[in-house]
Amino acid sequence: MTIDSIQLDGSPLPLETVEAVARHGASVQIADSAILRIEQARAHVDRLASSDQPYYGLNTGFGSLSQVRIEPDNVREVQKNIIRSHAAGVGDPLPVEVVRGMLLILAASLCRGHSGVRTELVHRIVDLLNKGVTPIVPSRGSVGASGDLAPLAHAALVLLGEGDAMYQDESMSGGKALKKAGLEPINPVAKEGLALLNGTHLMTSIGTLALCDIARLQDAALTGAAMAVDACRASDGPFDARLHKARNQVGQQDVARLMRERLAGSQIVNDHKENDPRVQDPYSLRAI
């Protein structure tokens, strides 16, 4: 089934949905329910940011500078600078499909309404996907489970009109790509720089696309194996459910079931039931 468009409503993304956007250009929209949650969370952040009390990442510095209060006039610049300072990746650029997957998963995460960003920020991320503007993101720089900080920072730079991007198969500055696509840069406010960098959206994108490929490879491998059994006039006995139930290994049981399904109706597998001098099939077939 071809997926032409998806809607982000804060719920988990199926693997095929990520692939449809990352690889096949499916369009993305944001559900009204998600917009409501985003706006409610943002209103709460605005109340905190205007308070005299210190709130980490809203009116304070980050990390070792968490005790330093940020004046209201400087909040936007601090949010920009945290993005700039973390855009320190190196190495070859990531594939376009991986970066698109990362942007989608980031937008989906923000649509849960727990990050305190503005709706216009999420819309702009979705605009990048729908307009075909893909940030150029170096492949080295993630700090693993602590977050894909550098890769996300390189992507976020393009939202600011900085960094570099691919647009219509051409590499150019982020600002030029936005202009060509008819988009305006975002000027991040309190909390947004932090929200853009926190997460494991890159490794999730890589893992998602790998799982999609693995599923296709497994399907092709099982189909090829079933054809080999048929071509060799082999038996379907080694795939009997009772044998694999005794082994009590779920994956093995699944493979045996899928082999039985592919061999169902075969007019060859029973050819050697009578008067066949072979004792058993080759090990490569029995061990599938």
Phi, psi for 263 (deg, rounded to 5)? -90, -5
Q: Is 56 a catalytic residue?
A: yes
Phi, psi for 58 (deg, rounded to 5)? -100, -55
| Active-site residue, from 55, 56, 167, 283 | 56
DSSP-derived 3-state class of residue 97: helix
Question: How far is the C-alpha of 120 from the C-alpha of 185, rounded, in Å?
Answer: 11
Cα atoms in the 13 Å half-sphere on the side-chain side of 225: 24
CB 202 within 8 A of CB 152: yes
Question: How far is the C-alpha of 114 from the C-alpha of 109, rounded, in Å?
Answer: 8
Other Cβ atoms less than 10 A from the Cβ of 209: the count is 20
- DSSP class of residue 184? P
- For residue 9 the two structure tokens come to 């409503």
Q: At what angle do helices 201-231 and 15-24 cross, to 10 degrees?
A: 100
- For residue 75 the two structure tokens come to 């909040």
DSSP-derived 3-state class of residue 269: coil
- For residue 156 the two structure tokens come to 């976020």
Give strand pairing partners of 28. 6
Q: Which residues are catalytic?
A: 56
